[in-house]
Structure 1
Amino acid sequence: MARLFGRGEPGREQAELERLDRTRSVIEAAGDGEEAQQVQIAQVARWQTRIETLLEELPAAEQQLVVAELRALVAQAEAAGPVQRVHNDFGRASFTNSQVLGSGNMTVTNNYDK
């Protein structure tokens, strides 16, 4: 993820690694329970917005390459073990300044119990 967001700039990549570390720390500090779930959902939403913004800013050809890289990262993470998955469906939503306007569905799947 850091490489994708860094876009070939070592300084930006390092900043993204630090951002990912902070995200992990926030999630770990939340512990378990309902509050932790809310923290995880908020972090997922933040990263989803960042990914959407990145894709919107890229030319179409480069978007396809980044989407392929993202899919590979997801496959790698899923193969690594249990995950908590959050899926947001923004089929009827519009995006303004990286904010979601409209309605959508959210499904949260906890795979720790499987």
Structure 2
Amino acid sequence: MARPIPFSAPPSAAFIRALDIIGSKWAILALVCLADGPKRFNEVGRALTGISRRMLSITLRSLEQYGVVTRTVHATRPLKVVYALTVLGETAVPAACALTDWLEAHMSELEEAVERLG
């Protein structure tokens, strides 16, 4: 039997848009990556294997737009761009880590299910 989603009202369009951005695979992984402190753009990119520079830029800008990440440009040569979690972003880390921890713990079961169902 399906459990009803515990919302007092149906999710708003703004809620769905925010979930689409903050709940994306790259955003979740970026949050986990930044959880241990600020990082330069390329450091985040190296940690997120498989992400293109363009997608990394889009993801970090979206998280910045939602107030989850800050972007600081240091006027050095070459320019140094550092990303860090905001106080709001830090509150999302436990949920992001819980999801990634759950995935790591259940990857074999998930892969078996995909294999079974083709």
With structure 1 as the length reference, what TM-score do the two structures score? 0.29
With structure 2 as the length reference, what TM-score do the two structures score? 0.28
Larger RCO (CA within 8 A; separation ≥ 6): 2
Larger radius of gyration: 2
